[in-house]
Amino acid sequence: MKHLSYIFILMMFALGNAQTGLYNQGNLGIHQEGKIGFHTHLINDGVIDDAEGLAGFYSAANIIEVSGAFPATFYDTEFMTQNGVLLNTTMNVENNANFITGDVLTFRNQPSNTLNFLATSFSTGEADISKVDGYASINNLQNFTFPIGDVVQLRPLILNSNATNAVAKCAYFFEDPNTAATFATGFNTNIKSETIGEVSTVEFWHLEGSVPSTISISWNARSNIGALTDDPNNVVAVGWSKAINQWVSLGGTSTGDLTQGFAVSASFVPDDYEIITFSGAGEPSDIINLDNYLVTPNGDGINDVLEFPELALSPNNHMRIFDRYGLKVFDQRNYVNEFGGFANGNSLVLNKDEGLPAGVYFYIISMDDLGLDFQGFLYLASQNAN
Please determine, for residue 49, whether its predicted confidence score (pLDDT) is greater than 90: no
pLDDT at 25 over 90: no
Residues 154 and 204 in one domain: no
Domain range for 311: 288-380
When pLDDT is averaged across residues 83-105 and rounded to a whole number, the result is 97
**For all residues of the chain together, what is the average pLDDT?**
88
- Residue 12 pLDDT more than 60? no
Asked if the model's pLDDT at residue 121 lies above 60, the reply is yes
Q: In the structure, what pLDDT confidence band is assigned to residue 57 with cuts at 50, 70 and 90? A: very high
What pLDDT band is residue 51 in, cutting at 50, 70 and 90?
low
Closest by alpha carbon to 267, among 162, 142, 123, 156?
Answer: 162
Q: Residue 20: is its pLDDT beyond 90?
A: no
Domain boundary among 261, 285, 309: 285
CB 238 within 8 A of CB 247: yes
Distances 223 to 173, 251, 306 between C-alpha atoms, Å? 12, 20, 30
- Please tell me the least confidently modeled range out of 23-37, 162-176, 322-336: 23-37
Mean pLDDT calculated for residue range 108-133:
96
Which whole number is the average pLDDT over 261-273? 96
Of 285, 306, 323, which one is at a domain's C-terminal end?
285
pLDDT at 179: 96
Of 231, 265, 285, the position where a domain reaches its end is: 285
Confidence at residue 233, expressed as pLDDT on a 0 to 100 scale = 86
Task: Identify whether residues 179 and 152 lie together within a single domain.
Answer: no
Same domain, 342 and 258: no
| pLDDT, mean of residues 159-188 | 97
Q: Band the pLDDT of 16: cuts 50, 70, 90.
A: very low
In the chain, the number of structural domains is 3
Considering the domain architecture, whether residues 70 and 126 belong to the same structural domain is answered as yes
* Same domain? 20 vs 164: yes
- Give the span between the Cα atoms of 338 and 344, in whole angstroms: 10
Is residue 297 located within the same domain as residue 355? yes
- Range 242-270 average pLDDT: 94
Does residue 295 sit in the same domain as residue 373?
A: yes
Q: What is the pLDDT of residue 82?
A: 93
With cut-offs at 50, 70 and 90, classify the pLDDT of residue 187.
very high
In a domain, 385, yes or no: no
Q: Does residue 269 fall inside a structural domain?
A: yes
pLDDT at 281: 77
Question: Residues 15, 96: one domain?
Answer: yes
267 and 142 part of one domain: no
Q: What is the pTM of this model?
A: 0.86
Q: Residues 130, 180: one domain? A: no
Tell me: do 248 and 313 sit in the same domain: no
**Per-residue pLDDT averaged across 315-338, rounded?**
91
Residue 373: the pLDDT is 81
- Residue 379 has a pLDDT of 92
Q: 54 and 157: one domain? A: yes
Asked whether residue 58 is domain-assigned, the answer is: yes
Q: Is residue 63 part of a domain?
A: yes
Q: State the pLDDT at residue 15.
A: 40
pLDDT over 50 (residue 14): no
How much is the pLDDT for 384?
58
Q: Is it the case that residue 11 has pLDDT exceeding 50?
A: no
Return the minimum-mean-pLDDT range out of 56-70, 74-88, 112-126, 282-296: 282-296
Mean pLDDT along residues 148-163? 97
pLDDT at residue number 264: 93
Q: In this model, does residue 316 exceed pLDDT 50? A: yes
Instruction: Write the pLDDT tens digit of every residue in 350-382.
Output: 666 678 989 999 998 988 888 888 888 899 997
19/332 Cα distance (integer angstroms): 55
